[in-house]
Amino acid sequence: MSNALVVIPTYNEIENLELLLREIISLQQDFDVLVVDDNSPDGTSNVVEKLIEEYPNTLFLLKRTSKLGLGTAYIAGFKWALERPYDFIFEMDADFSHNPKDLIRLYNTCKDQNYDMAIGSRYVTGVNVVNWPMNRVLLSWGASKYVRWITGMKIDDTTAGFICYKRSVLQAINLEAIKFVGYAFQIEMKFKTHLKKFKIKEVPVIFTDRTKGASKMSKGIISEAIFGVLTMKLKSIFNILEI
């Protein structure tokens, strides 16, 4: 068993997942992986079950009954991790937007440099995004700036989903009180980590758009983020935000 667990939420990622899991498992450093699948109609979980036969002590699967959103998938994964002795817990997408090799850089940032949260950031050194259409780059970059402005967090990539947490962060945050289910979940986690005064570091990464499978981005997810962030900030000002 490794002391680090990578949590990967999946919905219809059959074209990406096996390759991604094999890449993570073959890294220089040992990482355990938990896939949280929402009963993907394409049979993503079957792929994981098959691979678990090969790597029973490294690979784990949490199956949920239906598509319940990225945020709640992560919360379920975090709770699973905290029931076991993992010191470092990661968030990562299944679609190869996040380079598995960067897991080691995020890990070292928390382990050796003693940060509590390491963010794989697209916007520390300009805009490190490959293959996104311009409107998508602008949406994401604009969202990150908007969130930075509203929340006051000194983070360039506030919506990033490639993260290493020290266990103590996930223990300190009230996971039951996490409100957002879509993209905004990423903002909420960073805001609460920031409010709890944990040490946060952005590590520059190159983010590559998925080449296989379909995006789950939607208008609902975007409006949750725009209005949700305002509400969250106001609640924190009036001291009624549960963290």
Nearest-approach distance from CB 207 to Mg ion, in angstroms:
9
* 135 versus 215: smaller Cβ distance to ligand GTP: 215
> Residue of minimal CB distance from Mg ion?
95
Task: Indicate which of Mg ion, ligand GTP, none lies near residue 69 (CB less than 5 to 8 Å, by partner kind).
Answer: ligand GTP
Rg (CA), the chain: 17
* 43 versus 85: smaller Cβ distance to ligand GTP: 43
* 182 versus 192: smaller Cβ distance to ligand GTP: 182
Q: How far is 185 from 72, CA to CA, in rounded Å?
A: 9
Are 10 and 60 a contacting pair, CB within 8 Å?
no
* 69 versus 117: smaller Cβ distance to ligand GTP: 69
| Closest of 84, 80, 88 to residue 30, by C-alpha | 88
Nearest-approach distance from CB 36 to ligand GTP, in angstroms:
5
Nearest-approach distance from CB 216 to ligand GTP, in angstroms:
4
Task: Indicate which of ligand GTP, Mg ion, none lies near residue 73 (CB less than 5 to 8 Å, by partner kind).
Answer: ligand GTP
Task: Indicate which of ligand GTP, Mg ion, none lies near residue 216 (CB less than 5 to 8 Å, by partner kind).
Answer: ligand GTP
Secondary structure of residue 203 in the 3-state scheme: strand
Task: Indicate which of Mg ion, ligand GTP, none lies near residue 233 (CB less than 5 to 8 Å, by partner kind).
Answer: none
Q: What is the dihedral of CA 148, 214, 36, 103, to 10 degrees?
A: -60
Nearest-approach distance from CB 92 to Mg ion, in angstroms:
10
Q: Which two tokens stand for residue 97?
A: 């937007």
Are 58 and 2 a contacting pair, CB within 8 Å?
yes
Please give the angle made by the CA atoms of 25, 27 and 32, to the nearest 5 degrees. 40
Nearest-approach distance from CB 21 to ligand GTP, in angstroms:
12
Task: Indicate which of ligand GTP, Mg ion, none lies near residue 157 (CB less than 5 to 8 Å, by partner kind).
Answer: none
Cβ neighbourhood burial of 118 (10 Å; 0-12, 13-18, 19+): buried
Interface residue list for Mg ion (CB under 5 A): 93, 95, 97
89's CB contacts (< 8 A; 6+ apart) are 4, 5, 7, 78, 81, 164, 165, 167, 170
Interface residue list for ligand GTP (CB under 6 A): 9-11, 13, 36-38, 67-70, 73, 93-95, 97, 209-210, 215-217
